[in-house]
Amino acid sequence: MDTFNSLILILDATLRVATPLIFAALAGMFSERAGIVNIALEGKILASAFGGAAAAYVTNSPWLGLLAGVAVGIVFGLMHAFATVTHNGDQVVSGMALNILAAGLTAALGNYWFQQGGNTPNLVDQVNGIDARFSPLTLPFADRLEDVPIIGGVYSELFSGHFLLVYMALAAVPICWWVMFRTRFGLRLRAVGENPSAVDTAGISVVKMRYLALIICGGLAGLAGVYLSVAVTAQFIPNMSAGKGYMALAALIFGKWHPRGALLACLMFGILQAIADRSQGATIGSIAIPVQLIEALPYILTVVLLGGFIGKAVAPKAIGKPYTKERE
């Protein structure tokens, strides 16, 4: 029974940890499938987290915070597109520039606006009448089913009690899959990442498709950021993205640029994180597994995958190359 509870708690934590990764990985999917390497997920998440938290505080509404965060993500997406699509800038360098800009801008503006060392004020502040945090949702009958053996635990602990954004992330996966593989837009987007010349000769604007891809990417990354600040921590803390943008990229690659694979990879990263959190001092036989090893596992696995040792991770063919018509 105890292991069962532990299992539930781990899975519960998994969903919470995986949510921003899922949003970010889906964001990365749109960008990379259109042929643009997206190192900038980290910066987009961070910037949106800040924008969302700041807006939520000022307007005392988590929903406006969410809109603001998504807007910030889109702005960053547009900047990314401006550099890489309009000016054929190096995609990786542009991505790094945005990451660093985000880190600096969020800290500096945060300090300037709120004078709290870069944090935004707490979104739950009863003294000042501020309640701008997303609260966890309780699914119907969760309370009453709590004590029902097995099903009750699963329902009330695992399924219920998450932030809205968690459910949104899980819902986003099939929606993104549908957009990517069942709509005209998705077909064209995937084509752009494989062979932009073919798309061009078919009469479709490569520039327009890539801009749209980066806008969607920015929006989804925005949701990841908003989740971190407006839902989980109830405030923005400098550098709170803590590498999640890169992990999401790794998850995307691990998942072979497919929503289903990305979801599984994100969940895997989440489980590893949840287990790591609970297993200070775990052992195999008499050897203690260092918690750092478990933390490093997702990154090690990504490298192994990239080396082509677990199946081939075949990136979209035209990724990383700016598109220019030949013979200008």
Partner 1 sequence: MSQTRIPGWIYVVVIPLINIMLAALAAAFVFWYIDVNPIEAVVAMAIGAFGDSYGLGYTLYYTTSFIFTGLAVAVAFHCGLFNIGVEGQAYMGALGLGLVCLFLGGKIPFILLLPLSIAAAGLFGGLWTLIPAWLQGYRGSHIVITTIMFNFIATAVMSYLLVEVLKPQGSMSVESAVFHPDSWLPKMYEVFAYFGFTIRRSPLNISIFWALLCTVGVYFFIWRSRWGYEIRALGQNASAAEYAGIGPGRTIIMAMMVSGILAGFFALNVVQGEAHQIKFGLVNGMGFTGIAVALMGRNHPFGIVLASLLFGFLYQGGSELQFEYGVDPRIIIILQGLVILFSGALEHMMKHPVERAYLALSQKFQHQTVAEG
Partner 2 sequence: MTAQTVVAAQLAIELRGIDKRFGAVHANKYIDLKVEKGTIHGIVGENGAGKSTLMSIIYGFYEADEGQIYIDGQATRIADSKAAIAAGIGMVHQHFMLIQNFTALENVILGAEGSMLLNVSMATARNELERLAREYGLDVPLDIPVERLSVGLQQRIEILKALYRGARILILDEPTGVLTPQETEHLFKVLAALKEQGTTVMLITHKLQEIMAATDNVSVMRRGEMVAHVETSATSREQLAELMVGRKVLLQVDKGEANPAKVLLEVKDLSWRNASRVLRLDNVNFTVRAGEIVGIAGVSGNGQSELLDVLSGIQTLQQGSINLNGHVISSAAPVNPAQVREFKVGHIPEDRHKMGLINSFAADEAFVLGYHRKPEYNYRLLTNRAAITADCVEKMAKWDVRPQDPTLKTANFSGGNQQKLVIAREMEQNPDILLVGQPTRGVDIGAIEAIHQQIIGMRDAGKAVLLVSVELEEIMSLADRILVMFDGKIVGEIPAQMATETMLGLMMANILPDEVKQLQSGAQS
Residue ranges that bind partner 2, judged by CB under 8 A: 181-188, 190-191, 194-195, 197-204, 317, 325, 327
Q: How far apart are CA 140 and CA 262, in angstroms?
A: 30
Q: How far apart are CA 275 and CA 128, in angstroms?
A: 38
- Closest CB 245 distance from partner 1, rounded Å: 10
- Nearer to partner 2 by Cβ, of 209 and 267: the residue is 209
120 residue type, one letter: T
Report CA dihedral (73, 75, 79, 84) to the nearest 10 degrees: 60
- Nearer to partner 2 by Cβ, of 121 and 193: the residue is 193
- Choosing among partner 2, partner 1, none, which partner's interface includes residue 199 (Cβ < 5 to 8 Å by kind)? partner 2
| CA dihedral sign, ordered 22, 28, 33, 37 | negative
- Closest CB 184 distance from partner 2, rounded Å: 4
Q: How far apart are CA 259 and CA 262, in angstroms?
A: 5
- Choosing among partner 2, partner 1, none, which partner's interface includes residue 292 (Cβ < 5 to 8 Å by kind)? partner 1
- Closest CB 167 distance from partner 1, rounded Å: 29
| Cβ within 8 Å of residue 21, ≥6 positions away | 224, 244, 247, 248, 251, 266, 269, 270
- Nearer to partner 2 by Cβ, of 69 and 193: the residue is 193
Q: Which of 104, 84, 62, 52 is nearest to 226 (CA)?
A: 52
- Choosing among partner 2, partner 1, none, which partner's interface includes residue 5 (Cβ < 5 to 8 Å by kind)? none
**What 3-state DSSP class applies to 288?**
strand
- Nearer to partner 2 by Cβ, of 148 and 187: the residue is 187
- Closest CB 290 distance from partner 1, rounded Å: 5
**Which residues on neighbouring strands pair with residue 131, listed in sequence order?**
124
Q: Which of 49, 31, 28 is nearest to 224 (CA)?
A: 49
- Nearer to partner 1 by Cβ, of 117 and 136: the residue is 117
Q: Which residue ranges make up the site for partner 1 (CB under 8 A)?
A: 37, 39, 83-84, 87-90, 92-94, 96-105, 107-112, 117-118, 238, 243, 246, 249-250, 253, 290, 292-293, 295-296, 299-300, 302-303, 306-308, 315, 320
- Choosing among partner 2, partner 1, none, which partner's interface includes residue 203 (Cβ < 5 to 8 Å by kind)? partner 2
- Choosing among partner 2, partner 1, none, which partner's interface includes residue 260 (Cβ < 5 to 8 Å by kind)? none
- Choosing among partner 1, partner 2, none, which partner's interface includes residue 188 (Cβ < 5 to 8 Å by kind)? partner 2
| Cβ within 8 Å of residue 10, ≥6 positions away | 271, 274, 275, 278
